[in-house]
Amino acid sequence: MLTKEEIRLRDPFILPKYETKTYFLYGTTDENVWDGKGTGFDVYKSKDLLNWEGPFPAFRPDEGFWADHHFWAPEVHLYNGRYYMFASFKAVDKCRGTQILVSDNPLGPFTPLTDEPVTPRDWECLDGTLFLDDQQDPWMIFCHEWLQVEDGEICAIRLTKDLRKAAGEPVLLFKASDAGWTVPAHERNYVTDGPFLFRNSQGELQMLWSSRGQEGYAIGVAHSTSGNILGPWVHDKRALFDKDGGHGMLFYTFSNQLMLTIHAPNKTPNERPVFFNLDEVDGKLIIK
């Protein structure tokens, strides 16, 4: 068994399996996440979010897999009875993109659903996440990277029902500089990372996403004023968390406590999964 303090991991994502009352923890787990060869993704499991079994190898690429580094930010969604992993990959001569993998078991092994990413092949993209609209049609929300557009963007693209390909063109939801809490990184570039969609208790569609704030890596909340994925989106004036941690997601514990997980600090190799209890006050999230 490991404590969460013993697990080095970026971009944590929790999948609760209610039938067995087991939490599955995914994230960026390669030893050298920035410059090394991509080896895959590991997963851990726990009954209490304190003590963890693993790591278990959730994904290991076949020899012919198109990407060779920057294996980042896997998240796993139960959809139509199977487990789908959305994760980012990069190759020297190809743009970074989000690819979808699939398994019948949350521990894996996950295998690519198709031969290439769903994101546009001439865009540098990352951090795709699954969203189902009111008609239960699937969308992927993802980041168009600052490396290519300077002011990082969060976009949405409709997917086919089988998640195998895009069913339309990408739509820009907002840019990183649209939020009042963001500051530029790398002199003039604004970062977008880690979108995660949820509805609050009042049914309002909201989004967690990360960028750089005054005190380092941070996470903020955006709100869709129309209630649907196309927005328009408005931003809380202040970040939800701004102490050098981010790339967050929300989940409910088996005792129905709303929780936020992020990685903190944002400095390699010190990243660890961190958990916060949340309250909701007048539709807004408050860290306890």
What pLDDT is recorded for position 187?
Answer: 80
What pLDDT is recorded for position 248?
Answer: 97
What pTM was estimated for this model as a whole? 0.97
What pLDDT is recorded for position 186?
Answer: 79
What pLDDT is recorded for position 231?
Answer: 96
Residue recorded with tokens 């490396």: 147
What pLDDT is recorded for position 274?
Answer: 98
Q: How far is it, in rounded angstroms, from Cα 98 to Cα 90? A: 9
- Of 86, 81, 5, the closest CA to residue 41 belongs to 86
* Ramachandran sector of residue 186 (left: φ over 0; alpha: ψ -120 to 50; beta: rest): left
Low-confidence ranges of the chain (pLDDT < 50): none
* Burial zone of 80 (CB within 10 Å; 0-12 exposed, 13-18 middle, 19+ buried): exposed
CB-based contacts of 14: which residues, under 8 Å, 6+ apart? 23, 24, 25, 26, 249, 251, 259, 261
Which domains can be identified in the chain, with CATH numbers? 2-287 (2.115.10.20)
